[in-house]
Structure 1
């Protein structure tokens, strides 16, 4: 059941996702548009490269919060429409809101529709829908990052972990959640196409979170 109120909540989710964290922080504290440097994206990974660790962490945290908060807006639509918590209908509304926020991050109205790749916002969405699978994704992300120092590769591996864990470990019975997991894989592959090309050529930039690069 679609109502004017539920459509308004979807619009709010898009506007929330459209907050260009990396762009605004870069302009406010460094006087630059992060999209003009590094990979040219307005996401956490490029913020780490261009603006440094502290700002990168801030961007990542806020972008995760965007996805999480937007997804949890389902609670404000009303159970008479969404159904009870953890029901298939409720999860469908959560997914719809989360996807809308991710689209806002990819195509932000507040930044000329030039956003980031949506990984952090996607994670916030996953955290809201299935926190156990989200924590497993974090574990995979950290392990791959520690081994390779490639944020892009870590994001791709973590993205593929979600649908696999939902199906084989947590055995979700909600078809839309499984379908969403498959869509996450496709989205991450599409948005990281250039990263994959650089990885294959050995030209992808590394991010050293826990140690300095030795020249």
Structure 2
């Protein structure tokens, strides 16, 4: 039990590192939580600073949080799928609700992708493919996010398990992995409820409180 709590808490603290907050502060002396969507994540960092490089950099750093949390856990518990999975959920939870910035974080997409690169590359590949395809057809990034969030468990269910299992770091059966992917999707969907509410009200995130320059 102590080991489990240590993994979750340690991963949460890693996930809580607010890279978007630090990077945007350094670049333009702006609190990313007070501009754009108010989310401390890669896309809002890009929107607020008007810099694709900044958004990409924050995205890579956020992905590194998930990757590091899962990788370190895998070093200590190499055969435990659930320890690695809980490490990812802890890191994502830390990114969404970081203790250092008043529990105002991002949505957890990049952190999830980074962690899934370690747990199972198939999930990350399916996720990115769905996101890119949806982004080609819809300008709003929200719909690309939702396509990846909702579609990934379905695609993982449809493709042969022999393909997916070869990319897994720890041994796990098909339905356990799909169940875990559903848990991840549920957490990420919850983190998008505010954006969905804005869409329902007819508000686009890029229209909200964005500085003209940095």
* TM-score, structure 1 normalization: 0.82
CA distance in structure 1 between the partners assigned to 2:7 and 2:189 by the alignment: 29
Deviation of the 1:134 alpha carbon: 1.1
Q: Which residue of 2 aligns with 1:77?
A: 76
Q: Which residue of 2 aligns with 1:21?
A: 19
Please tell me whether residue 39 in structure 1 is matched to residue 17 in structure 2.
no
- 1:174-189 equivalences under 5 Å are 174-189=174-189
CA distance in structure 2 between the partners assigned to 1:170 and 1:92 by the alignment: 22
CA distance in structure 1 between the partners assigned to 2:174 and 2:181 by the alignment: 11
Q: Which residue of 1 aligns with 2:210?
A: none
Structure 1 portions without partners, runs of 5+:
84-89, 207-215
Of 185-194 and 139-148, the range deviating more from structure 2 = 185-194
Kindly indicate whether the alpha-carbon contact (under 8 Å) linking 2:7 and 2:83 is maintained by their aligned counterparts in 1: no
Q: What are the superposed Cα offsets for residues 92-122 of structure 1, whole Å, 9 maximum, x if unpaired?
A: 1110100000111111122122111111111
CA distance in structure 2 between the partners assigned to 1:58 and 1:106 by the alignment: 18
Deviation of the 1:157 alpha carbon: 0.5
Deviation of the 1:22 alpha carbon: 0.6
CA distance in structure 2 between the partners assigned to 1:205 and 1:105 by the alignment: 20
CA distance in structure 2 between the partners assigned to 1:159 and 1:41 by the alignment: 18
Deviation of the 1:76 alpha carbon: 2.5
Please tell me whether residue 167 in structure 1 is matched to residue 157 in structure 2.
yes
CA distance in structure 2 between the partners assigned to 1:46 and 1:78 by the alignment: 35
The CA RMSD over aligned residues, in Å, is 2.2
Kindly indicate whether the alpha-carbon contact (under 8 Å) linking 2:7 and 2:86 is maintained by their aligned counterparts in 1: no
Kindly indicate whether the alpha-carbon contact (under 8 Å) linking 2:37 and 2:205 is maintained by their aligned counterparts in 1: no
Question: Would you identify which runs of 4 or more consecutive aligned residues in structure 1 move more than 4 Å?
Answer: none
Q: Which residue of 2 aligns with 1:57?
A: 56
Kindly indicate whether the alpha-carbon contact (under 8 Å) linking 1:43 and 1:115 is maintained by their aligned counterparts in 2: yes
Q: Which residue of 2 aligns with 1:68?
A: 67
SS of residue paired to 2:111: helix
Counterparts in 2 of 1:170 and 1:201: CA distance versus 1, 3 Å: farther
